[in-house]
Each structure stands twice: as C-alpha cells, then as structure tokens.
Amino acid sequence: MIALQRRLVAVLAADVAGYARLMETREEETHGRLMRFMHTVVEPAIADHRGRLVKNTGDGFLAAFDNAVDAAECALAIQTACARANRAEPEAPSLLFRMGLNVTDAIVEPHDIFGSGVNLAARLQQSAEPGGLVVSAVAAAALHGRQGILLADLGELTLKNMARPAHAFAVRAVGEIPAPPAPQLPPLPDDRPSIAVLPFRSYPADADGAYFAEGIIEGIIHVLSGIQALFVLSRSSTLSYAGLPQDPRKIGQDLGVQYVLQGSVHRVGTRLRVAAELCDTTAGAVVRTVHHDGIATDIFELQDRMAAQVVADIAPAVQERELKRAMRKHPSSMTAYELVLQAIDLQYRLDRTSFPRARGLLQQAMALDPGYGPAYSHAATWHMFSIGQGWSQDLHADVAEAARCASAAIERDGKDATALAIHGHMLSFTCRDRLGAMVFLDRAIAAGPSCAMAWALGSATLGYLGEGAKAVERAQRALQLSPLDPFAFFSEHMLSQAYYVSGDYENAVLWGRRSLARNRLLTSNLRTLAASLVAQGEIEEARRMADRVLEIQPDFRLSRFAARTPFRPEILAQHLPRLRTAGLPD
C-alpha cells in the first residue's frame, strides 16, 4: 500500500461570480475572456508568488502555496489585475473572482489535493463577495501585521455542509479604510424586561430540520415582539450562537438581555416535540421549563402557547389583551413559511448572482399560500432593492410591483409591524409620498415596538424629509434592538444617512464605514459615504467609494438618480454636487 503524502499548504480556492448567468447570456465571450484571464493573469501570478496551480475547475481554480502570505498576496494581485481589465474593457463580460484561503495539512497528489481543510477553503470562497477574499482564522493569524494587508473580522460563519461555524476574516488591500470600532450607543430608554431567543437545536440535524427549527423561533419572536411590555432582540442577532455551547450568563453579557429562551425541536415523521428553557442570565438559573407535544400541523398553535408562557414568567403585568393583539396570522403551509425564511437570507446578501433566486422563492411561497402576508412584504422589499441597486430591467414595472405586493401584505394582515413598515417605505422610496409613509411607519412601531425593521425604515423616511435628529433616534433604536444582526449593515447605513442629513458628517462617515465593512455591495451606503467624505474634505477616499458604485452599477448617472430619489429638493441641492465631486457622472 502506497503511503499518502501529506504536507502543510496554503490552499487558495476561486471561482467567477455569476459565471452561469454570464455563460447563459454571452457564452463564447465569457469562456474566451476567462481563458485569457487564466493564461495572462492567474497562472503568471501564481508562478510569481511561488505557488502551484493544482487544477482548473471550469469556472475557477485551486492553487497551493507554501505559506499564507504568498497565497494572499497572489490573490490580491489577481483581483487587482481583473478589476483593472474590467475597467479597461467595459463592454466585455465583467469577471470577478470570489476567493477563499485556508492553511491546512492536506493530502497532496501530483494533480490534486484533498482534505477537510481544502473543503473549508472552498466554502470560504462561497462566502466572499465578487472581487473579495475570505480567509480562515489560521490564515489570518499568519497575515496579521503584514504590510499591505488589512483584515476585517467577519466573526463565525455558518458554511454549507460544514458541521461547525468557522471564524473568518475578509482581506483588504492597503488603501481601504478599516471599520472603526463601534461607538457607544445611548442607553435603552426604558427598563422593560429583555429577552433573546436563541437558535433551537434540531433533531434530526439535517437541512429540513434546521429550517423547521428556525420557523419555530421566528414565530415565537414574532409574537413576543408585539408585546409592548417586552424588549425582544431580533432572531438574526442570535444566529451566531447556533450549534455552540449556550451559557446564559455569557450570552446575557454579550447581548445585554435579562432572559434567554433556548430549546430543541425533535421531529419524527409528523410527530413533533418542542422543549424550551427560560433562563435568568444574571444567575444562570432556569426560570421555567416547557414541553409541548403535537403534530407538525399544530406548529403555529404551539408557538403561541409557548410565547404566552414566556410572557407569563417574565412580564406578569402584561394584560391578556396585549398578548391577543400581538398574535399574528399564520401561513396555512409550512413550506411557504420555510421558503420565505430562505428568501430573506438570500435577499439581504445583495449578491447579484443569488438575488434573483430570492424572488423565485417568494413567488413559490405566494403560490403555495396566497393568504400569507410576509411573502408579499418581502417581495416588495425585493423590488425596492432591485431599484436601489440599479438592477431593475423595467423601473416602472418594479415600482408597480413593489406597490402591489406591499398593499397585498397589508390586506392580509393589517397589524403586522413588518408589513406596515415595508408598506410605508414603499410609499416614500418609490412614490415619494413621504408624509403618507410616516403614517404607516408610526403604525408599524405601535404594532411592534421591538421590530427593528420598523425603526430602521422609519429612520430612512425621516432622513428623506430632512428630519435628521429624529432619523438618528430611530436608527439608533433599530441597532439597539438588533446588536448582532448579520443584516445590521442596513441599519448602520440608515444611521449614517441620518447623521448626514443632520450635518454631522463625522458620524456619518463613521457609521458608513461600519456598514461598508459588513457589506460592500449596498450602493446607497456607498453614495452616502462618498458625499459625507466630500463634506469632510476627504476627496480621495470619496472617489474610491464612487468607483465602487460604478463597479456595481456601471450605468449609474446622477440625472437618473435625481429623478427618482426620495430626498427633498433642499437636501439634493447639496447632495448632488458632492456626489459629482466624488466622481459620479451626470
């Protein structure tokens, strides 16, 4: 038997973002351009950095290096060269690599390498943005302090087909501004009992079970969020605790909550058992343990009963009418519920490749359960993102569809805080009916005082109106409600915009950079940050932000932006010249 050859290698995995879509529309041009990139950019860069091209994967490559520094510098050189080539030939298919890097003890063969660490590099690559590089904690340790390289901590990432979350970092080239530390937000304005609902463990631990368990806690939070006497953190704020040991005292310190609800869901066929523990985070003591048995079709009744018991334990003064008011309509199909959960996750990545799939999932949910309001709410948001990112192929059709979906959600449940907030945002963003929007946005906060989206979208419209101070207050509340939300980049952008409108450009830049560090694809944040930097006199960095806008939206023009933006004319009078100074074309 031949002994396996193993050695420590730095594995660089890469593929072209959106390759299938490009091949579908421009097959020969895309294939030819990728082959030229491989021969003139990728292969020479790997050789220059003392690496070995292990294999060509059709839409990307796998390479091995002796150390992480060579691998990272090679990756950055490739990304820089590709970006330069794309700018030089704007009419050609734009190719950007996603890259992942890990240092691992791998099985090395003449024409391939194998091992779990190689798989990790490939999974990290899938988490990278187009033109980006994501590295493991081991690789980041080797790169720390290296001249010319900046690291942005992404925290624990849940990766496809990986049993445990992986601590990952995004690698930036020098010249980009790292995210500043989070400024201290004002204290919460009340002393209501606060609770975080952690991800429930699912048995069996497969993909279907995981989405089912997510549906359980989503329903509980949805009910609890309508209880005015409760301060409830959003579900996304606790996602990083999935699959980890859950010490209530440590979580209480991390999230600033008094209570934690944790549990498990056992599913065998149609039979269902839900177990949950309500813990006091100060002492780490279990306040109450609840168990519920039933069948899968009873899931929404189970959610409501569990929420009622939690409220009875931590907010005894809450009246029965408050609990009834918080109860929401439920989808008649569990499958539709799961489809919406998956669509939200894809939608907020703002990855143009996977973004259309979110719309498809929402359409499936509507077809399966025409009475389920959240499918329509998030479909309205999908169309607004499509407009805002400059991806709309038919602006008037997207505006009309956003209005139709937002109205349909309200028709199905006029007390849903998220639906009310999205309907209000639709009125201001697509119709410029800012005052009409505030009616719905205020109703949203009244219906769901702990709904972070209601506060964030309310901040957006107040910013459009020029009410900077009020906009700041609402954006701050959104971030307080959801401090660890992976989609917090949106609320951080709202806070940046609010400070910009109020004339506090220093804080506008600070929060814009924080949003940028979490998501580099939100074009509205890039524009606000560029204008804020111009107002601060930081023209060079402002131009880098404008360049990023044009990379994401090459046909962006200020004239079209001015025609559709919901900002009031007096705000635009200062905003447009600043964007022009940053380098955005008329």
- Encoding tokens for residue 39? 């021969």
3 state SS of 172 = strand
Hey, what are 408's tokens? Answer: 């349909």
Q: At what angle do helices 488-502 and 505-518 cross, to 10 degrees?
A: 160
Q: Which two tokens stand for residue 270?
A: 């149609």
Strand-pair partners of 273: 266, 293
Check whether the bond before 245 is cis (ω within 30° of 0): no
Quick one: the chain helix, strand, coil %, rounded to 5?
A: 55, 15, 25
Place of tokens 């498809």: 360
Give the integer Cα–Cα distance in Å for 508 and 499. Answer: 5
Q: Domain-by-domain residue ranges, the chain?
A: 6-173, 194-326, 414-582
DSSP designation for 482: -
Q: Give the model's pLDDT for residue 321.
A: 32
The CB-side HSE value for 340 (13 A sphere, CA atoms) comes to 25
Q: Which residues contact 233 (CB under 8 A, 6 or more apart)?
A: 194, 195, 196, 197, 255, 257, 450, 481, 482, 483
Contacts of 439 (CB under 8 A, 6+ apart): 424
Q: Which residues contact 542 (CB under 8 A, 6 or more apart)?
A: 529, 530, 531, 533, 534, 578, 581, 582, 583
Closest C-alpha to 326, from 458, 412, 423, 417: 417
DSSP 498-535: HHHHHT-HHHHHHHHHHHHHH-TT-HHHHHHHHHHHHH
Q: Per DSSP, which regions of 162-312 are E strands?
A: 166-173, 194-197, 201-203, 231-232, 259-268, 271-280, 285-295
Give me the tens of pLDDT residue by residue for the chain, a chain 586 residues long: 456 788 899 999 999 887 877 887 788 899 999 999 999 999 999 999 999 999 998 889 999 999 999 999 999 999 888 888 888 888 888 888 989 999 999 998 888 899 989 999 988 888 777 788 889 999 999 998 787 787 777 666 666 667 777 888 888 765 444 444 545 555 555 556 678 888 888 787 766 566 667 766 776 777 677 665 567 777 667 766 776 667 788 888 778 887 888 888 787 777 777 788 888 787 677 777 777 777 766 666 666 666 555 555 544 433 333 333 333 334 444 467 677 777 887 888 888 888 888 888 888 888 888 888 889 999 999 999 999 999 988 888 999 999 999 999 999 988 888 899 999 999 999 999 999 999 999 999 888 877 788 999 999 999 999 999 999 999 998 887 766 566 789 999 999 999 999 999 999 999 999 999 888 999 999 999 999 999 999 999 999 999 999 999 999 999 999 999 999 999 999 999 999 999 999 9
- Topology match between the domains 6-173 and 194-326: no
Residue 127 — φ and ψ, nearest 5°?
-90, -10
The partner residues of 201 in beta bridges, in order of sequence, read: 264
In terms of CATH architecture, what is 6-173?
Answer: 2-Layer Sandwich (3.30)
- Tell me the CATH class for 194-326: alpha beta
Predicted local confidence at residue 22, as pLDDT = 80
Can you say how many angstroms the Cα of residue 234 is from the centroid of all Cα atoms in its chain?
A: 14
Specify the pTM: 0.62
Q: Is 181 exposed, middle or buried (0-12, 13-18, 19+ CB in 10 A)?
A: exposed
State how far the Cα of 442 lies from the Cα of 456, in Å rounded to an integer. Answer: 12
What's residue 212's pLDDT? 64
CATH of 414-582, one of 1.25.40.10, 1.10.260.40, 3.40.50.1860, 1.10.760.10: 1.25.40.10
pLDDT of residue 329: 37
Contact 255, 196 (CB under 8 A): yes
| Cα 10 from chain centre | 28
In degrees rounded to 5, what are phi and psi of residue 289? Answer: -115, 130
SS3 of residue 45 by DSSP:
helix
Backbone dihedral angles phi then psi of residue 271, each to the nearest 5 degrees: -80, 145
Residue position matching structure tokens 């309001």: 373
DSSP annotation of 179 reads P
The residues, any chain, with a CB within 8 Å of residue 146's CB and separated by 6 or more, are 69, 72
Give the span between the Cα atoms of 183 and 267, in whole angstroms. 43
